[in-house]
Homo-oligomer: A and B are copies of this chain.
Amino acid sequence: MVHRILAAVAASCLLASTPLAAQGIDRATIMKDPKVFGLFVTLKMRPDYATLPAAKRRAGAVSEIQAVIAKHRDNVLADFFLTRGLDTESDILVRVHAYDLVKAQNFVIDLRATTLGMHADVEQKFVGMTNALIYAHKSPGLTDSLKATTYSDPAPRFVVMIPIKKSAEWWTLPHDQRLKLIEEHTILTLGFLATIKRKLYHSTGLDDVDFMTCFEFADVSAFHELSKVLMAVGENRYHVQWGNPTLIGRIDSLENVLTAVAGG
């Protein structure tokens, strides 16, 4: 079943990403559970941030944000990725997972009340949820293949988040045609399971896109090859948005991320 395929993809993905210390919410569990909200926001520092005293921008920013993370540790899992230097619209990509969308919203509200947040603009936002079952069918072999391979490369260094919107033509295709196209793209990407983690979020109605796909990897070339495979599948003809933006960030410790944006 495709929903099993999607669930299997979700379960096998992103488990190794632990830039933050242990939290009240269990990373391994929330990263594979269904009905989990994923809220992605990007922060872009305003110029006046660079004029604050250095101590406030560096150690102060870290401790304030660690306090926000600690406050919400029972409700929210938050990851901070460094986009400065790789993006024009942001310096930091924040990825928030929560079982309740209100809890994820509350985390971002508190983040914006920190010194760093008060000197940043939220330039981009995407929201979705995991594992809303779309396609129920029989593909046990494919599901087994998905489960059989796990990520075995060095620890991921990069995250890429790609929002996707499908056309009306896609949504009004007969169910089995959509299924066949999904299976085609799934089979062609099986070879990348060992080098690229993926996680899918469903956004229809909650955002102006239909899906968000979050990738983590160490091998940039492999990710580029996977992306070309995804361009060449028939399903690609039904995309009215793929990326725009393609959010790419570095996986690093919270301290390193905040230090990197403190400089100007």
Chain A residues with a Cβ under 8 A of chain B: 35, 37, 39, 41, 46-47, 50, 82, 84-88, 101-102, 104-110, 112-114, 117-119, 122-125, 127, 129, 132, 134, 157-158, 160, 166, 168-169, 171-172, 202, 204-208, 210, 220-221, 223-228, 230-234, 236-237, 239, 243-246, 248, 250, 260, 263-264
Copies in the complex: 5
A35 near B221 (CB under 8 angstroms)? yes
B50 near A118 (CB under 8 angstroms)? yes
Task: Please give the distance in Å from A75's CB to the nearest CB on chain B.
Answer: 13
Task: Write the chain B residue with the least CB distance to A204.
Answer: B227
B264 near A114 (CB under 8 angstroms)? yes
B123 near A88 (CB under 8 angstroms)? yes
Enumerate chain B residues within 8 angstroms of A210, measured Cβ to Cβ: 231
Enumerate chain B residues within 8 angstroms of A231, measured Cβ to Cβ: 166, 168, 171, 204, 210
* 8 Å CB contact of A109 from B106, B248, B263: B263
A208 near B169 (CB under 8 angstroms)? no
A224 near B205 (CB under 8 angstroms)? yes
B221 near A205 (CB under 8 angstroms)? no
Enumerate chain B residues within 8 angstroms of A113, measured Cβ to Cβ: 263-264
Q: What are 25 A-to-B residue pairs whose CB atoms are below 8 Å?
A: A37-B220, A84-B105, A84-B108, A84-B109, A85-B105, A86-B101, A86-B105, A101-B220, A113-B263, A118-B264, A160-B205, A169-B237, A171-B231, A172-B233, A172-B236, A204-B228, A204-B231, A205-B227, A205-B228, A206-B220, A206-B227, A207-B246, A207-B248, A208-B243, A208-B246
